[in-house]
Structure 1
Amino acid sequence: MARSARSRRATERRCPGSGVWGGGSSILPRFYYTTWFRGSGVHSDDAPSGPSTTRQRVRSGPGNEETVIQSTLAKEVRRRRTFAIISHPDAGKTTLTEKLLLYGGAIHLAGSVKARRAKRHATSDWMEMEQERGISVTSSVLQFDYHGFRINLLDTPGHQDFSEDTYRTLMAADSAVMLLDNRKGVEEQTRKLFEVCRLRSIPIFTFVNKCDRVGVSPLQLLDDVEAELGMACAPLTWPVTDGSNLLGVYDRRDAALHLFQKGGDHGASAPTVELAGLEDPKVRELLGNAATDRLLEEIELLDAVGAEFSEEAFLEGRVSPTFFGSALTNFGVEPFLRRFLAHAPAPPPRDSSEGEIAPDDSRFTAFVFKIQANMDPKHRDRLAFVRICSGQYEPGATVTNVRTGKGVRLTDPQQFFGQERERVDTAWPGDVVGIHDRGGLRIGDTLSAKGTPEFEAIPPFSPEHFARVIVPDPLRRKHLDKGLLELSEEGAVQVFFQGGVSGPAPVVGAVGPLQFDVLLHRLEHEYGVEARLEPMPYRDARWVSGPERDIRRVGNGLDAALVFDRNERPLLLFRSQWVRQATEGREKELEFFRMAPE
């Protein structure tokens, strides 16, 4: 399969041959997989085997129909902006998200939101547990229009325990906004997510938040970003302070001043002060001599070090346009949004097994990056979040799931606003739609109306926390199996199995322990299963390939355990990173993988 350069590098360490053991054999009891995972086929309601290519044509004269369709497709692609916000916990991501929605007219009151006739705690935090704890634990999609653009905002969990959900969501984004706390700069979770963006060559904007509070010097923040991440910052706006208080932000490109005010909306709606340059007498009249001198000195330093914005360098990921403001007070957000729309890329071409597919290719293609069950507890539904890559989405069309080769009928498509959904009649590249899934779709599946192109896979990451799932009531085991199957297909946790005299015992793995709390909460409230978890003493794991006897020998040792994932691939669990590294150095016949091999 043709892949991007980074994907080709990743596949250089894939397992040889067709089997993960190197010889294609399997030692996991087959009976359990044929029952527990029997829902892997697509139920297509007897859809025709061949893909449907029906399309409503615009009648604009003989021979011009396809031209008009292509023109409409190209126009819709140009006005799409699909992005995600990445940050460390508590940097203000949910607050910034809601302020962007305010500008888009999608909501009218941030926080206790009245959004499309529904009351919410935070628009993007729709799960009961999110609202109780005040954290985002699952990704959501928020779509709205602003100044002629269709914006698809992929809101991601900020908590580090849910970083794997964020990794998957970033696969659907065309750009990202890196949100920094002006008192803390680059933090651990920000660094991890930045690396994912870098691997995918995603252009990154930077928004320095909480500037209404005293924090690190903005010049020091820029130095920290470059030192920590190896990416230069090009400030397009700059905070104006008197040393302890925020007075406004200066727009370097437009030579304009946005003044911060106490009370009301803090000056967010106040008219911008147009300047003839920083030497304009209005600057000293508005800011005073001390603040003006400070601003002149800082801008002079920026000019001296060449902190200028370059479109080419930005799209290549070498420079990040940087903005300053306060999401909580709504200050500096509107200048950022305007610049973002001007510079953020429209949906780009994507690599596939059949070569690069352009967004204005008339053939419909898309991929599944998220599956979510029970968004509406009354209906026990299951939705696949699909990112459109090319062509036009039309309800009722039949496409092919490239992984299974089976037809999937695109009925009743949904577009999202947090938990709320609306039926749509059409969607375009860059958009995210939800399609009802009966259990046949998996994260990473490619859907295509013609041919069998396959987009880059979305591999699972090796977990860092493990626990056995115990159900006191054996009569609820069937419900447990159903819940674990569906939640693992969503990516809420990873499920593995250990062999035993009574059959494989379920083991759950997670990036962080808070995922286990979510698992128990959802098992109880969505599947009626009261379960408990028995922690296992392992903190590192790697998928492994090689001779079966060697894998079993390592897995039966005192400091390791052997489990299998849903695709029967062996995974070794280790008590510590040190044990894992020592094993990798000692076992020359084995090959280890941080991400699941294909």
Structure 2
Amino acid sequence: MSTPTTPDDPTAAASEPVSNTDRATLDAARRRRTFAIISHPDAGKTTLTEKLLLYGGAVQEAGAVRSKGRGRDVTSDWMELERRRGISVTSTALHFSVGDVTFNLLDTPGHRDFSEDTLRVLSAADSAVMLLDGAKGVEPQTLRLFEVAKARNIPLLTLINKYDRPGLDPLHLLDHIEETLDLKPTPVTWPVGIPGDFRGVIDLRTGAFHRFERVAGGSKVVPTTILTPEEAAESEGDAWTTAMEEVELLQAIGAEHDHEAFLAGRTTPVFFGSAVSNFGVGLLLEALMELAPPPSAHVDLEGGHRPLTSPFSGFVFKIQANSDPRHRDRVAFIRICSGHFERGMKVMNARTGKPFTMSYAHEVFAQERAALEEAWPGDVIGVVNALDLTIGDTLYASEPVVYPPIPSLAPELFAFARNADTGRTKQFRKGLQQLDEEGVVHLLTRVNGDPTPVLGGVGQLQFDVAQERMATEFGAAIRLEPTPYTTARRTDEGGEAALRHHSQAEVLVRTDGTRLAVFQSPFVLQFFQERNPDVLLDTMLTR
């Protein structure tokens, strides 16, 4: 399997001369892998993230990301609520290198209620790892996140995790993936032994057997014992024979890796392992280096492709405030699409038409940050206290470009936000505005003149996070009261007029001017649609 080239790779192009600057950009891009991890809660996403960092040398011990020279510990889950509940509800960028390959791991929330945040993160990723529990397969929240990835045409690698525990047999898992996701699984490694009596995996690329040896805690990288097929057959007996019969079946049905089909999103390379024991993580990391696509020319709003060698451009895909309580700051995460970033460079914001100086750009690693002097296509940089930047903004130097807006999902839950302390009105308004800009919740107003803010979200956990952050970060406790609305669609002025006197629906307006038609039930929505077929009612929003 050869490392794929980008459309801008001079070795794949014709005879035009390439400048030294362009060659440096293309070489840096070729060595980038920008990927995300999606999974159902409890499938092991945080564990896998930390083990990948461990293999990449970014941490000294799994579970503790130690900042250089200061002896401080951070983890990929930095919010107190995350640690308390054992879930991931924020996203961050984790940057590390293995050999000459530089990885940008975009850590996504692991909870369905934050699938909007995952959608934004995946807009900045070139590929993703889909993590499945070997005993449960594709779970409901995995399915929702997969649909988000599919909407972005993201190539997916799949890791079947927790295979050292009782679970489903591997052939059943492959059928389950294909039937549930309409995605053909093509194993790259294959397990020897049944779940719960896991012996190791066969690397189908080489035929070598990687023996599973349980590592207590899995906090260190321990070299894996690798056997030849002959040695494995003698060592593992009937388990090896069964595994080889299964491999022959896979070959007979053509379940082999097809790189073009993988990049097109029709197939997914599959790996088996145990993240908690560090087993299979190294093979997955190697596959990310070999199979995951590097950055390529990014599609702009007009449908054209901006070459990697064009002057600097990028877009904001996430805003995060107060990730480090010491600074109470606001970080804009920018995915670089083209050109060479240099600290202090001046760029234009396509939305505002105003210049912006990139003086406070950092490499962000969970809560930690370090001044960044340069970066390349595929890299993610954090710009601190960039108050003029919002999600979806395009930044460019020299040659104008606008990238498509980042879509968001129509809210499914709505609540009135009441200020619990009228003496904290300023903090109340500022906090809600900040949470809206980050995309934690949608901040909405009623067109009927009622000034009470309405919060919209995909799930209840978004409201829980909003309440906690309002109280702890902004000093403005809020009470949330339910509204009668359960269903929302994007609409326009015509929809607003049609719903003006509706008794079971109304229109709410987002801070960016987007109108949301909200209904008390799906039945009310359907009834309205049937009688108003020309009214715009769309499920997808844009920011």
TM-score grouping bracket, smaller chain normalisation: over 0.9
Deviation digits for residues 355-381 of structure 1, max 9, x if unmatched? 534453231000000011112223221
Select the residue among 230, 235, 246 that pairs with 1:286. Answer: 235
1:515/1:118 CA distance change after superposition, 3 Å: farther
Aligned length: 525
Select the residue among 260, 273, 281 that pairs with 2:226. Answer: 273
8 Å Cα contact 2:76-2:366 kept in structure 1: yes
Select the residue among 143, 146, 152 that pairs with 2:98. Answer: 146
The 5 Å alignment of 1:277-356 reads 278=229, 280=230, 282-288=231-237, 290-353=238-301, 356=304
Specify the alignment match of 1:522 in structure 2. 469
8 Å Cα contact 1:120-1:126 kept in structure 2: no
Specify the alignment match of 2:45 in structure 1. 93
* CA distance in 1: counterparts of 2:50 and 2:172, whole angstroms: 28
1:99/1:577 CA distance change after superposition, 3 Å: same
1:560 aligns with 2:513: no
1:81 aligns with 2:33: yes
8 Å Cα contact 1:106-1:115 kept in structure 2: no
Deviation digits for residues 466-485 of structure 1, max 9, x if unmatched? 11111133232222111111
Specify the alignment match of 1:492 in structure 2. 440
1:403 aligns with 2:351: yes
1:188 aligns with 2:140: yes
1:118/1:373 CA distance change after superposition, 3 Å: farther
Specify the alignment match of 1:584 in structure 2. 529
* CA distance in 2: counterparts of 1:265 and 1:488, whole angstroms: 39
Deviation digits for residues 166-214 of structure 1, max 9, x if unmatched? 1100000000101111111111222222222222221110100000001
Amino acid at match of 1:285: E
* CA distance in 2: counterparts of 1:582 and 1:309, whole angstroms: 48
1:77/1:559 CA distance change after superposition, 3 Å: same
1:106 aligns with 2:58: yes
Amino acid at match of 2:407: P
TM-aligned CA deviation for residue 463 of structure 1: 0.5
* CA distance in 2: counterparts of 1:179 and 1:73, whole angstroms: 32
Moved more, 176-185 or 294-303: 294-303
8 Å Cα contact 1:555-1:572 kept in structure 2: no
Task: Give unmatched runs, 5+ long, in structure 2.
Answer: 1-16
1:249 aligns with 2:224: no
- SS of residue paired to 2:336: strand
8 Å Cα contact 1:260-1:268 kept in structure 2: no
* CA distance in 1: counterparts of 2:232 and 2:477, whole angstroms: 65
TM-aligned CA deviation for residue 311 of structure 1: 1.2
1:478/1:265 CA distance change after superposition, 3 Å: closer
8 Å Cα contact 2:217-2:276 kept in structure 1: no
8 Å Cα contact 2:164-2:195 kept in structure 1: no
Q: Which has the larger radius of gyration?
A: 1
Deviation digits for residues 116-150 of structure 1, max 9, x if unmatched? 345446x2111122122221111111000112111
- SS of residue paired to 1:529: coil
1:471/1:262 CA distance change after superposition, 3 Å: closer
* CA distance in 2: counterparts of 1:243 and 1:395, whole angstroms: 51
* CA distance in 2: counterparts of 1:157 and 1:142, whole angstroms: 14
Amino acid at match of 2:339: G
* CA distance in 2: counterparts of 1:102 and 1:391, whole angstroms: 30
For CA contacts below 8 A with separation 6 or more, give which structure has more relative contact order. Answer: 1
1:535 aligns with 2:487: no
8 Å Cα contact 2:89-2:114 kept in structure 1: yes
Specify the alignment match of 1:385 in structure 2. 333
1:433 aligns with 2:381: yes
Specify the alignment match of 1:471 in structure 2. 419
Amino acid at match of 2:232: V
Task: Give unmatched runs, 5+ long, in structure 1.
Answer: 1-64
TM-aligned CA deviation for residue 459 of structure 1: 2.5
Specify the alignment match of 1:50 in structure 2. none
Deviation digits for residues 357-412 of structure 1, max 9, x if unmatched? 44532310000000111122232211110000000111111111101111111112
TM-score by length of 1: 0.84
TM-score by length of 2: 0.92
* CA distance in 2: counterparts of 1:466 and 1:265, whole angstroms: 42
Amino acid at match of 1:439: L
Specify the alignment match of 1:235 in structure 2. 187
1:442/1:243 CA distance change after superposition, 3 Å: closer
TM-aligned CA deviation for residue 242 of structure 1: 5.0
1:563/1:141 CA distance change after superposition, 3 Å: same
8 Å Cα contact 1:354-1:453 kept in structure 2: no
Same amino acid, percent of matched pairs? 47
Amino acid at match of 1:544: T
Amino acid at match of 2:519: F
8 Å Cα contact 2:163-2:195 kept in structure 1: no
- SS of residue paired to 1:328: helix
* CA distance in 2: counterparts of 1:255 and 1:305, whole angstroms: 19
8 Å Cα contact 1:104-1:146 kept in structure 2: yes
- SS of residue paired to 1:95: helix
- SS of residue paired to 1:372: strand
